[in-house]
Amino acid sequence: MRLFRYSTQLTRFARAAAALAGVPLLSGCFWLDGPQSTFDPNGPVARHQMDLFYVTCWVSLVIFVLVGSVLAYTMIRFRARGEADLHAEPPEQGHGNPLVEMSLIGGSVLALVVIAIPTLREIWYSYEVPVEDKANAYEVTATGYQWWFKFDYPGEKAQTDDGSGKAVAAPFTTANELVIPAGRPVHVNLRTVDVIHSFWIPKLAGKVDMMPNRANHLWILADKAGYFWGQCAEFCGESHAVMRFRVIALGPREFNDWLNAQMAPARRAPAAAESGRPRAQFAAYRAFRRNEAGFTEKFDQSPLDSWRALQLPPKDEDAALIARGRELFSSKTCASCHTVRGDGFIGVVGPELTHVGSRSTIAAGLLENNRDELHRWIHAPNEVKPGNTMWLKGYIANSIKLTPEDEDALVNYLESLK
């Protein structure tokens, strides 16, 4: 207990010292608060891991200062001061000082112990939900694919159609956006269906690998409602760099409302006569340069508000165009890979799209979910994410050809799936 108390005090000291030392540097340059910054923790696991980083950093800094000071002193004290020194005989050589050598060994061991104690503590802490919080923990399962993430909620059951017109319960699944309750620990089971991936939410928890044929897990807790960036942190193929996801933390009531909406079957857009809205015209979509960023400035200013706005139905729906898109979704074999509960589409290769219109991102967190970016993804998926399965096993294998009108209809259909 004394060792753990010592490491806790050391952690607090290191964090305070780092904050004081960093003020002059960072105030004049920048602050590390980007969307994937580990220096802006928003949960207890990330905070503990940052404290450990500070301990390691300060121990390393002390070693650097000591070694550097001795080296600087030696270079200055024993430098050649004239022509005579350059040709002088070297001093008598010794075989070391036992006291100095033992002191260096003891100091090295002490430095390792100082780092090891909080390291072991943080490994145990980040591995499993604390005992006192286990009863309140929420459970999800994250599965890595090349190159996207599937999220299962084993404690929830969604409504779907068994083909006979009757509603039945089915496992609840979503993709690329993990929605969790804020202020509540979440136990995340980690799985993969192909190669090794690494699950990383920098502001909530460190990296944990998804290993083939091996179960793994971690836990996270978001202090408050927020929108967090996630990333695969293990090279896993051609499009590894664009294998991303998002974590949305919501308050209890908003989280329950989201669950209820997501567990319902696919939404059907009302006919124009029912909605009172005018018929939408064929859309003209903008062109994109290869590798162009996929997010608007408005979205970046407040991602959580942008996500909340997407939970509402579009204002200019065209029921006939949406019905055409639903028909194309089936005839162009999209339904062989994607599930849309309530529309009779059951596929397991690609992400579930039952409520894709309510997600803030598409293409595994790479693009903002708006009409232009959705059209960009449908029009040229291989330019957005090279080597993706939709392109290789869908468009190429099935010789899928889409006219501009077809693409517009599919965009409207997918956008209607709230």
Give every CB contact of residue 401 below 8 A, 6+ residues apart in sequence.
none
Choice between 252 and 17, residue whose per-residue pLDDT is larger: 252
Cα dihedral sign for 406, 412, 413, 415? Answer: positive
In a domain, 52, yes or no: yes
Residue 400 shares a structural domain with residue 270: yes
pTM of the entire structure?
0.82
Question: Is residue 16 predicted with pLDDT exceeding 70?
Answer: no
What confidence tens digit (pLDDT) does each residue in 334-350 have? 999 999 998 889 888 99
Tell me how crowded residue 206 is: count the other CB atoms within 10 A of its CB. 21
The 8-class DSSP code of residue 131 comes to G
Last residue of a domain, one of 247, 264, 281: 264
The CATH number that applies at residue 349 is 1.10.760.10
Give the three-class secondary structure for 212: coil
243 plus 209 within the same structural domain: yes
Residue 287 forms part of a structural domain: yes
Mean pLDDT throughout 294-317? 89
* Mean pLDDT of the region 288-299: 87
Alpha-helical runs (H) found in 264-403? 272-275, 297-301, 303-309, 319-331, 371-379, 381-384, 389
Same domain? 250 vs 280: no
End-of-domain residue from the set 245, 264, 283: 264
Residues 366 and 363: their CA atoms lie apart, in Å, by 5
Residue type, 151: F
Output the six-digit token pair for 192. Answer: 């993969």
**Domain for residue 88, yes or no?**
no
Please tell me whether residue 373 adopts helix, strand or coil conformation: helix
Q: Is residue 167 part of a domain?
A: yes
- Alpha-carbon distance of 212 to 146, in angstroms, equals 13
The answer to the question of residue 87 being in a domain is no
Residue 288 lies in a domain: yes
Does residue 114 fall inside a structural domain?
yes
Clarify whether residues 168 and 66 are in a common domain. Answer: no
70-112: pLDDT as tens digits = 999 989 888 888 777 777 787 777 777 888 889 989 999 999 9
Enumerate long-range contacts of 163-168, CB under 8 Å, 24 or more apart: 163/344, 167/265
| Mean pLDDT, residues 275-281 taken together | 52
- What is the domain count for the chain? 3
Q: Which domain holds residue 183?
A: 137-264
> Using CA of residue 298, residue 300, residue 302, residue 303, what is the dihedral sign?
positive
Per the domain annotation, does 358 fall within a domain?
Answer: yes
Verify cis geometry, omega within 30 degrees of 0, for the bond prior to 147: yes
Report whether 159 contacts 262 (CB < 8 A).
no
Within 8 A by CB and 6+ apart from 266, the residues are 340, 341, 342, 343, 354, 355, 417
CATH of residue 191's domain is: 2.60.40.420
